[in-house]
């Protein structure tokens, strides 16, 4: 029988009462927690074979992070990104408001570096974030075949940057080769068994890590006076390395801000070592006419002749004569030339009119040798004094300046670089910076920068064989390095028992002006070294890592414009024979090795098929040099 409406109402009421009564008698159950929202992630993929950048926001606090994978394996764990300014915190409580992508394809040429011609292909993604208060920040990310980079863009003024949240978190098993930080970037690199084993402290922004996903070199690019140079900070036992601007000082900001690139050069060891990623990230050249920019080897007279040579026209003429005989295009006159005779800290007030430098320049030109000179940076701080020095040197015919003792990466000092770079370009003066920052893309934007120190070079006394074998994978990856090799007469060099190893450094280390630091007497006592150095080209068309292990060994081949390959190798440890793959190309090659023999340097020819290995003997903590050219029947030498 159908239930009438009134009866249905009574039944429902009784059921409701019964359920309520039952619920009241049951023990209370805790409400099931809501499942946490998954991390929101976005991938950035580059050309085929590139690493993948993964940008994410933590749903718990809205903090952004960036990770890097290659071939499904971890290069960089999710690592904090973000900034904190005086007026806004861009390290947490962020919301993504948009994303845009584009492809970057460029070709450019540079007079210095691992190669003259460069091809760039990257994917760029701009992630637009907003804080709860409406402040905006863009995270600009780029991915290329050899690296991942990011930078911050603040479209509005939010005051000075108080700190960066940026950090690099590596897998716990990552093996670092890292250098403690100092203002001149000259401390040695040390290899550790794991990232967590690195002592607490500050470290240079040029640290190499071996990870399960390949090698990763932390670097920086496009640093100007709008920001300060940065270094890494580390807490003992942690696999994370934070990023901190100079001296942890606030970065002064007025208006919009675009920070330098934070970069991870990554791939196998060859990819990292041969990479030009930090140059590729930098702005295009600001020098239109580059015809006056000419790299090449130079005879550097500081270690060869000391202070006395710096104040002697006759001594400098003898060095010019020796450079001319070797066909070296430059001679570099170091400190002393503008001081009062016999004094080393007093500038001659009549240096413009009572100076022998114009005579030396004339003497050199007659013999095909151009002159470069040393200057203390303090002479170039005041705009009026700067113009006086640079215009005078240009009028005399000096071709380059070696500027020394900046010894800072503060925002103020980086602003000075912004002033000196266009000023030297205006006066057609090539530049070698000493006591300086490291390249960070500067040589693409300002191609008249031939080289920078930022390394404990040949004149220092604290180098080790391990340091020689670390530099090709760290400092020299990111730009020209003025190590000043070739000082055979120096008793303090770490490979003092291997003249062949010292000779190999002139190729192993790339520098737009390769300042050769030996004495004429030391070269004459080593005719095979002299013969090799006489053939050094003015630049390189291609660079290849043949074999190596960071901090233990390195063998590099560099192709000259005439098609010949110059090879340099260094090894830390016991004497041994090493097998070096000749990855020079197809065909048959004549390889002339220069090694250490019982009575001096020994040159020996070898005929090798491309891709085959050549066995080379090296002495303890030594190395070798070699020259390779295409072989044909009857050819016994690679001499040009």
Catalytic residue numbers, as ranges: 404, 459
HEC letters along 351-372: CCCCCCHHHHHHHHHHCCCEEE
Which strands make up the sheet holding 600-609, listed edge to edge?
542-549, 553-559, 565-571, 623-630, 588-597, 600-609
Give Dmax over CA atoms of the chain in angstroms.
130
CB atoms within 10 A of CB 518: 26
HEC letters along 493-543: CCCCCCHHHHHHHHHHCCCCEEEECCCHHHHHCCHHHHHHHCCCCCCCCEE
Q: Which two tokens stand for residue 544?
A: 């290849």
DSSP-derived 3-state class of residue 9: helix
For the chain, the distance separating the N- and C-terminal CA atoms, rounded to the nearest angstrom, is 115
- List C-alpha distances in Å: 27 to 18, 31, 73, 415: 16, 13, 50, 71
Are the CB atoms for 402 and 434 separated by under 8 Å? yes
* Separation between Cα atoms, residue 480 and residue 476, nearest integer Å: 6
HEC letters along 276-309: CHHHHHCCCCCCCCCCCCCCEEEEECHHHHHHHH
Residue that has been written with the tokens 């570099």 in this structure: 332
Q: Which residues of 107-129 are buried (b: 16+ CB within 10 A; e: fewer)?
A: ebebbbbbbbebebebbbbebbb
Is the four-CA dihedral 431, 432, 434, 440 of positive or negative sign? positive
Q: Strands 161-164 and 553-559, how do they pair?
A: unpaired
> What angle separates helix 383-396 from helix 357-366, to the nearest 10 degrees?
40
* Separation between Cα atoms, residue 312 and residue 199, nearest integer Å: 48
* Separation between Cα atoms, residue 412 and residue 380, nearest integer Å: 14
The number of C-alpha atoms within 13 Å of 469 and in the hemisphere containing its C-beta is 26
The number of C-alpha atoms within 13 Å of 511 and in the hemisphere containing its C-beta is 29
Are the CB atoms for 259 and 151 separated by under 8 Å? yes
* Separation between Cα atoms, residue 239 and residue 461, nearest integer Å: 32
């Amino acid at each position: 029988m159908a239930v009438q409406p009134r009866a249905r109402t009574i039944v429902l009421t009784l059921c409701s009462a019964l359920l309520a009564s039952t619920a009241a008698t049951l023990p209370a159950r805790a409400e099931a927690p809501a499942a946490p929202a998954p991390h929101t992630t976005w991938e950035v993929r580059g050309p085929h074979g590139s690493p993948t950048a993964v940008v994410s926001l933590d749903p718990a606090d809205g903090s952004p992070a960036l990770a890097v994978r290659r071939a499904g394996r971890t290069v960089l764990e999710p690592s904090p990104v973000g900034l904190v300014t005086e007026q806004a915190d861009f390290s947490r409580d962020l919301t993504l408001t948009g994303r845009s992508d584009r492809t970057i394809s460029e070709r450019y040429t540079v007079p210095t570096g691992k190669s003259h011609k460069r091809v760039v292909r990257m994917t760029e993604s701009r992630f637009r974030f907003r804080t709860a208060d409406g402040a905006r920040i863009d995270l600009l990310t780029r991915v290329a075949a050899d690296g991942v980079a990011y930078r911050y863009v603040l479209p509005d003024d939010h005051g000075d940057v108080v700190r960066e949240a940026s950090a690099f978190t590596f897998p716990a098993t990552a093996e670092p080769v890292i250098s403690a930080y100092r203002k001149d970037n000259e401390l040695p690199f040390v290899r550790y068994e794991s990232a967590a084993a690195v002592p607490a402290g500050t470290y240079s922004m040029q640290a190499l890590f071996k990870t399960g996903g390949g090698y990763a070199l932390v670097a920086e690019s496009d640093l100007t006076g709008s920001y300060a140079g940065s270094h890494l900070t580390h807490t003992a036992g942690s696999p994370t390395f934070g990023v901190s601007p100079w001296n942890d000082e606030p970065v002064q900001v007025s208006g919009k801000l675009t920070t330098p690139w934070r970069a991870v050069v990554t791939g196998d060891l060859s990819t990292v070592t041969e990479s030009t990623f930090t140059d590729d990230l930098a702005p295009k050249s600001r020098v239109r006419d580059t015809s006056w920019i000419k790299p090449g080897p130079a005879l550097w007279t500081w270690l060869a002749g000391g202070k006395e040579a710096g104040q002697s026209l006759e001594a400098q003429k003898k060095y010019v004569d020796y450079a001319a005989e070797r066909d070296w295009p430059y001679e570099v006159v170091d400190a002393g030339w503008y001081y009062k005779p016999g004094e080393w800290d007093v500038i001659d007030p009549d240096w413009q009119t009572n100076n022998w430098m114009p005579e030396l320049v004339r003497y050199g030109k007659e013999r095909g040798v151009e002159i470069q000179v040393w200057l203390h940076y303090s002479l170039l701080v005041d705009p009026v004094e700067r113009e006086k020095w640079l215009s005078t040197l240009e009028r005399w015919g000096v071709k380059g300046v070696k500027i020394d003792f900046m010894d800072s990466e503060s925002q103020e000092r980086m602003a000075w670089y912004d002033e000196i770079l266009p000023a030297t370009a205006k006066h057609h003066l090539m530049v070698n910076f000493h006591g300086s920052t490291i390249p960070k893309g500067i040589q693409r934007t300002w191609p008249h920068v031939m080289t920078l120190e930022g390394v404990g070079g040949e004149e220092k006394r604290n180098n080790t064989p391990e340091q020689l074998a670390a530099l090709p994978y760290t400092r020299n990856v990111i730009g020209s390095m003025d190590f000043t090799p070739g000082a055979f007469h120096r008793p303090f060099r770490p490979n003092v028992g291997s003249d062949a190893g010292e000779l190999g450094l002139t190729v192993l280390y790339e520098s737009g002006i390769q300042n050769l630091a030996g004495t004429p007497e030391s070269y004459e006592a080593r005719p095979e070294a002299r013969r090799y150095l006489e053939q050094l080209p003015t630049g390189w068309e291609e660079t290849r890592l043949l074999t190596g292990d960071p901090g233990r060994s390195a063998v590099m081949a560099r192709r000259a414009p005439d098609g010949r390959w110059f090879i340099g190798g260094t090894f830390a440890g016991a004497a041994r024979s090493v097998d070096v793959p000749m990855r020079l190309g197809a065909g048959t090659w004549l390889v002339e090795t220069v090694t250490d023999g019982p009575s001096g340097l020994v040159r020996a020819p070898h005929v090798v098929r491309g891709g085959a290995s050549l066995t080379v003997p090296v002495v303890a903590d030594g190395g070798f040099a070699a020259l390779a050219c295409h072989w044909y029947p009857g050819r016994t030498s690679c001499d040009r």
